[in-house]
Structure 1
Amino acid sequence: MGALQIVGVHGIRQGASATTEALSRSWQESVDDGLACSGPAEVAGPVGLTVPSYRGVYPKTATRYMRLGPDAARAADDVPVDAAEEAFILEALAAYAPSAVAKEQDSPTAGRTLGAGRLTPRILRRAQAVDRVAGKGVTDRLLWLVREAHGYLRHEETAAAVRALIREALVTTGARMVIAHSLGTVVFYDMLTRGEVPPAADGGPGVASLITCGSPLGWLAVRKGVHTAGSPLSVPAGVEWTNLYAANDPVNKGRGLSHLAVGVTDVRVDNGKLNAHDVHRYLDKPAIAEGIGKARRH
């Protein structure tokens, strides 16, 4: 029996060395480790993982928040965010910690930056308020995600190019299983809602098994960019959706998606306290191996 083909959809902070080959190899190693330690390993059999890198089509934003591509280091780091991105960031942080908005200080804190590039006073005030509610340093990590989400959801040419690369990988490999992490869960959910996932040869859903890990879909204000506000999150009929979340993962806030989504099975995993959002801490979990086993049998 041949290897089960899986396409992975990666998240943020993929540098110039994160090629498709490198990402695929590193994800494969973590999944193989999990399978080797799991009961369903014999049932699952071998797998082939392809993780298309979209770093080459992402905009080279002038800030080390977006250190994608070889030209990032030469960008003008002091360029501030523009008005559209400021509004996007403020909305996202408010959605992450609604109670923080009321705790914002009236006067801006001059001089504080979160990484490189000078953020606006309004962002600084909200970021500090979120830290007071969610924990010191939380926004330092969240802003990577929020700014790259802005790059995806507010730049249609970029978004279309990202989705095209993932679609190409699905067509080339014939994979009917997808594992998505972090911002990758937003990207693939966007593909599903747009009907851009190629169908199977029998006319059924092209992807029958979806595993999301560390997903921000439950809070990120930008989800309205890929979803109708007021309606539950959902995937097409015939797609089995499993969502892994970790208690100490700041991106999913220690919560799953079942309170906002229909047809999803939430699985809580233990990724430890440090780097709980790291994709490799998700990939070697028994729930991944179990999902592979189910996909293999079907």
Structure 2
Amino acid sequence: MATGKPQLLFVHGIGGLRDTATDHRRWLQALATGARDAGMADAISGLTQGWLADVTFANYSDLFNRRGAQGDTTWELGEDEVPFLTGLLDAMLEELAEQFPAASSPHEARVIADARFQLDAAVQGRQSQGVGDVGRRLVGVTTTVLRLPGVRQAAQWMNGWAVLAQLAQVGRYLDRRAKKAGLGAAVRARVLEGLDLARPLVVVSHSLGTVVAYEALHEYGGAVPVWITLGSPLALGAVVLDRLVPRPASCPANVASWLNFWDRDDVVVGQPHLANWIGPSKSGVKAVTERVDSRGLWTHTATKYLEHGDVARPVIETLRP
């Protein structure tokens, strides 16, 4: 049984180059806001001062951003990336169409139908088009998706090209070919670096970070009392699910509780199928999914999720002695 001061591990998702200290502070501040929302304000000082847990922000963003510039401008769409991106966008649009049916959400449905038309045209013309032409069509899809309420005017992703480039990070991480698999291994090594197997570990992961955490926790030998997933693409169809290792997908054996949170306006998540598509661990633990409704225009950020009391409460309860 793991004993001693708990460890709290933050695992970020897609995006540009990050500053470890800045994001460490922002995630803790958001979690403190969530603690207040949960009526647990007495735990804030212990959390932010490091008394409750040793907190680590696992920053692997430099492994994806070659020049180190925010929104890495050196990325170019490769021929081998097209199938993954078209599949991922297809899954996202399918889930969004379920969330916004024409009867109740006519504007959103029109936007999604427009994006679907553009994606179908890109797929159908792929054989006769160059990679550049396909890329421009896919940028058109992501640009159209940015018109959805809750996504437009987002400060984090300013244009469709940036969206496509950052979504491509998911495919790059999941690429298992011999010359490509080293990236995923390096990311997982960065996440697990410096952890103490003898002490309990609480993991909060977001976006691509939930995919990374899924595989890293299957490799990790220590006890994980609770694993929190936020805005997870793990259930975005076979395009992600069928690429996970190990397969068939199941909850890591060392996880005692898995809590998954999703927001209806989070474009990366889609419907909460995760609990149905990923099997339980040998001890019967599987994801328990709960919806949260974030305030503001852009919901696919870790800090938006962490500000919810429902998200912060299980983290604080687990860390408290």
Q: Normalising to structure 2: TM-score of the pair?
A: 0.69
* Cα drift, residue 169 of structure 1: 4.1
Q: Does 1:224 align with 2:245?
A: no
| CA distance in 1: counterparts of 2:211 and 2:64, whole angstroms | 15
Amino acid in structure 2 at the alignment position of 1:156: A
* Match for residue 210 of structure 2 among 179, 182, 185: 185
- TM-aligned CA deviation for residue 236 of structure 1: 1.8
The worse-fitting range, judged by mean Cα deviation, of 281-290 and 239-248 is: 281-290
Q: Percent identity?
A: 24
Per-residue deviation, 1:8: 0.4
Does residue 156 of structure 1 match 2:181?
yes
Residues 244, 269 of structure 1: 8 Å contact kept: yes
Shift of 1:59: 5.1
* C-alpha distance in structure 2 between counterparts of 1:215 and 1:55, whole Å: 18
Give unpaired runs (5+ residues) of structure 2.
98-115, 152-158, 280-285
- Write the letter of the residue equivalent to 2:243: G
CA 1:55/1:175 → structure 2, altered by over 3 Å: closer, same or farther?
Answer: farther
SS at match of 1:280: helix
Read off the aligned partner of 1:83 and give its amino acid letter.
E
TM-superposition CA deviations, 1:101-154 (whole Å, max 9, x none)? 897238869xxxxxxxx964345556656887x674679375244211122222
How far apart in 2 are the matches of 1:76 and 1:266?
Answer: 37
Q: Secondary structure at the match of 2:276?
A: coil
**Distance in 2 (alpha carbons) for counterparts of 1:58 and 1:128:** 23
Residue equivalent to 2:61: 55
- Within 5 Å, give how 1:206-225 maps onto structure 2: 206-219=223-236, 221-225=239-243
Per the alignment, in what secondary structure is the counterpart of residue 170 of structure 1?
coil
Q: Please give the TM-score of this superposition, normalised by the length of structure 1.
A: 0.74
Counterpart code for 1:272: R
Is the CA contact (8 Å cut-off) linking 1:186 and 1:223 kept in structure 2?
no
- Structure 1 residues 278 and 72, CA gap change in structure 2 (3 angstroms): closer
Output the CA distance in 2 between the equivalents of 1:20 and 1:127: 30
Instruction: Confirm or deny: 8 A CA contact 1:24 1:51 kept in the other structure.
Output: yes
Task: Give the superposition deviation at 1:34.
Answer: 1.5
Distance 1:222 1:254, change over 3 A: closer
Equivalent position amino acid for 1:30 in 2: A
Paired residue secondary structure (2:196): helix
SS in 1 for 2:195: helix
Q: Which amino acid aligns with 1:46?
A: G
The answer to whether the Cα contact below 8 Å between 1:20 and 1:53 also exists between their aligned partners in 2 is yes
In structure 2, C-alpha distance between the alignment counterparts of 1:238 and 1:147, rounded to whole Å:
29
The residue number in structure 2 matching 1:105 is 121
Q: Which residue does 1:31 correspond to in 2?
A: 31
CA distance in 2, matches of 1:97, 1:223: 17
Q: Is the 8 A contact 2:118 2:140 kept in 1?
A: no
Looking at both structures, which has the greater relative contact order when contacts are Cα pairs under 8 Å and sequence separation is at least 6?
2
Instruction: Provide the secondary structure at the position in 1 that maps to 2:297.
Output: coil
Q: What SS does the aligned partner of 1:289 have?
A: helix
Over 3 Å counting, the alpha-carbon distance change for 1:237 and 1:122 in structure 2 is: same
